[in-house]
Amino acid sequence: MPEINSLYKKLANDGINNQCLQHSLQGLQQRLGKGALNLWNQLPDQQLRARAKENRMQTLEHLDLVLEELAKKIQARGGKVFFASTAEQANDYISKVARQHNVQTVVKGKSMTSAEIGIDKVLEDQGIEVVETDLGEYIVQLAEDTPSHIIAPCIHMDRYQISELFTQKLGIPASTDPPTLTQAARTTLRKKLLSADMGLTGCNLACAETGHITLVSNEGNIRMATTMPPVHVAIMGMERVVATLDEHKTLLQLLTRGASLQKLSTYVSFQGGPAASDGPDGPEEFHLVILDNGRSRILADPDFKEVLACIRCGACLNICPVYGRIGGHAYNSPYSGPIGAVITPLLDGINKHADLCKGETLCGACKDICPVENDLPRMLSLLREKLAHGDKNWDVQPSSLQERTMFTLWAWLIQHPRIYHATISLMGHLQHAWSNRAGMLDNLPGPASKWTRTRLLPAVAQKTFRKRWQEKLSKSKASRQQSGDQHE
């Protein structure tokens, strides 16, 4: 049975037909995608990205030790560290902390890991109010929507839609002026930030040498969310850690450049524990949740380990020609674009997300732009291999027996040139019914209709190159013979 996870196609179509989204994506890719490529070309140190990757891979090599060091340093300052194997464990832990502190309101900093574990819903089900404080995330939350870009969550909405939303939900007078809208959000959010009982953030980077986590933002919301509420809980994917401050420096440079062409974001917050007598800044309690949730399995597979080097800058979304047409919702995951197409199946099931593995052209643009030179096309190709042949380690069932049979037959033909050419020539004879005057085929039946519905297909030539070559050979032989005869 052909396996079609039609949701991807359906959502992709919605994206393609959404004019507003198309307009935003065009702008995003023109500015950020091209911009990042230019930045990399202008880096004075052209080896920087390769070295950063090397460092990342080295750290991943002994990730357990590096994480242990990070945890120790944070604990030494009175911070609490929890290793969560699964999303459920992470959610339970965070819920428990919330209960202990009788939390009514949680303010959030933008975090994809929090979306991965689905913590919002878990907290809301306990009657806790959860408020996003990143402007884009806040808009998406108000709209009861999901982010469509890992850095620019509401890229799919324009200011007219946002204006309508704000009038409806915040009760402000209609305005499409971005500063006015931002101010309205700011006023509401500030109140929440000042009164919340818990701040919940992600973690862009963590550094074992210093025992800190690092959060970048341009709105200042992170700084407030991590310092105003009495409790700060940060969730980090376990691969986010780097070993040394030196490595941290390089990655921070690459992260903000890749994400938004900035040498440095407006704010960089470092959190390494609760406020102390000698350092009064910070929350009363600091918790770091280090999440596995499938990452160990990726780490253990040399083919895919590389994907854990990702610093989630989103640059690959800004250049991908598929993302550029379909937008982020099609991926149906907190992680969209090329990185999402690789990490989502690995974290959440390869069969389940077969369309993400197959729905790209492997053009390689993501590899070129990635600050850590991740070879996503290579990994997509390997994911497809698992789908084609099945894989026990990854619990993958072969996805389409029909396709497999077709390729087996095809491979046999490839190895039998005579029959191969005869088959093609037979197709050439059968094609006339669909051929137009210019020798192009239209309205083909069966699977070929998927091509010809939107495109014409050139007909099989009456004389293939192979035939023409054979004729040329026999002609030149004949003429050689002729001139030979004359010389005799």
Partner 1 sequence: MTQQPTVSLFIQCLVDHMYPHVGEAMVNLFDRLDIPVTYPDGQTCCGQPAFNSGHRQSARKAALHFLQVFRDSEVIICPSGSCVHMVRHHYPQLFKDEPDLMQMAERIGDRTYELTEYLVDVLGVTDLGASFHAKTTYHDSCHLSRSLGIRRQPRALLSKVAGLELIEMENSDTCCGFGGTFSIHYPEISTAMVDEKLRTILATGAEYVTGCDISCLMHIQGRAQKRNLPVQVVHIAEILSHQGEADHAGNK
Q: Which residues bind partner 1 (CB under 8 A)?
A: 9, 12-13, 16, 321-322, 324-326, 357-365, 367-368, 381, 383-389, 403-404, 407-408, 410-415, 417, 420, 424, 428, 438-440, 442, 447-448, 450-451, 453-461, 463-469, 472
Work out what residue 447 binds among partner 1, ligand SF4, none; the CB cut-off runs from 5 to 8 Å by kind. Answer: partner 1
Alpha helices, DSSP H, located in 229-313? 245-260, 295-299
316 binds, among partner 1, ligand SF4, none (CB under 5 to 8 A by kind): ligand SF4
Instruction: For residue 155, count other CB atoms closer than 10 A to its CB.
Output: 21
CA distance 396 to 465: 42
Measure Cα distances from 358 to 327, 403, 436 in Å: 16, 13, 32
- Closest to partner 1 by CB, 263 vs 418, is 418
Least separation in angstroms between CB 316 and ligand SF4: 3
* Lookup: tokens for 112: 């994809």
Measured from the CB atom, is 228 or 440 closer to partner 1? Answer: 440
- The span from the CA of 259 to the CA of 264, in Å, is 10
Amino acid at 104: Q
Q: Which is nearer to partner 1, 62 or 389 (CB)?
A: 389
CA dist 384 and 350 (Å) reads 9
311 contact choice in ligand SF4, partner 1, none (CB below 5 to 8 Å, kind-dependent): ligand SF4
Tokens at residue 143, please? 């709209």
Per partner kind, with CB cut-offs from 5 to 8 A, the member of partner 1, ligand SF4, none near residue 479 is none
Q: 352 or 472: whose CB is closer to partner 1?
A: 472
Torsion of CA 217, 261, 21, 13, to 10 degrees: -100
- Please identify, using beta-carbon distances, which residue of 9 and 159 lies nearer to partner 1: 9
The 3-state DSSP class for residue 20 equals helix
If contact means CB under 5 to 8 A according to the sort of partner, which of ligand SF4, partner 1, none does residue 341 touch?
Answer: none
Give 160 or 469: the residue with its C-beta nearer to partner 1.
469
* Nearest-approach distance from CB 396 to ligand SF4, in angstroms: 22
- Per CB under 6 A, residues contacting ligand SF4 are 258, 310-316, 339, 369-372, 374
Contacts of 389 (CB under 8 A, 6+ apart): 398, 404
Radius of gyration of the chain (CA): 28
Which runs of consecutive H residues, i.e. helices, occur in 62-177?
63-76, 87-100, 112-117, 119-125, 135-142, 159-170
Q: How far is the CB of 136 from partner 1 (least distance, A)?
A: 25
Q: Pick from partner 1, ligand SF4, none: which does 457 bind, CB < 5 to 8 A by kind?
A: partner 1
Shortest distance (Å) from residue 108 CB to ligand SF4:
21
Q: Are 147 and 328 in contact (CB under 8 A)?
A: yes
Which of the choices ligand SF4, partner 1, none does residue 258 contact, using the CB cut-off of 5 to 8 A by kind?
A: ligand SF4
| End-to-end Cα separation, the chain, in angstroms | 69
Helix, strand, or coil (residue 71): helix
Angle between helices 417-430 and 401-414 (to 10 degrees): 110
Residue of 192, 196, 198 whose CA lies nearest to 93: 198
Nearer to ligand SF4, 199 or 340 (CB): 340
In the complex, the smallest distance separating the C-beta of residue 374 from ligand SF4, rounded to whole angstroms, is: 4
**Residue 152: how many CB atoms within 10 A of its CB?**
19
CB of 395 to partner 1, least distance (A): 16
Least Å distance, CB 158 to partner 1, is 20
Least spacing, CB of residue 379 vs ligand SF4, in Å = 10
Nearer to partner 1, 99 or 467 (CB): 467
DSSP E strands in 371-454: the ranges are 440-441
222 binds, among ligand SF4, partner 1, none (CB under 5 to 8 A by kind): none
37 binds, among ligand SF4, partner 1, none (CB under 5 to 8 A by kind): none
Q: How far is the CB of 40 from ligand SF4 (least distance, A)?
A: 11
The number of beta carbons lying within 10 Å of the beta carbon of residue 242 is 27
Task: State in angstroms the smallest separation of the CB of 315 from ligand SF4.
Answer: 4
45 binds, among ligand SF4, partner 1, none (CB under 5 to 8 A by kind): none
Beta carbon nearer to partner 1, 32 or 216: 32
DSSP state of 362: -
Closer CB to ligand SF4, residue 15 or residue 258?
Answer: 258
Check if the beta carbon of residue 314 is closer than 8 Å to that of residue 259: yes
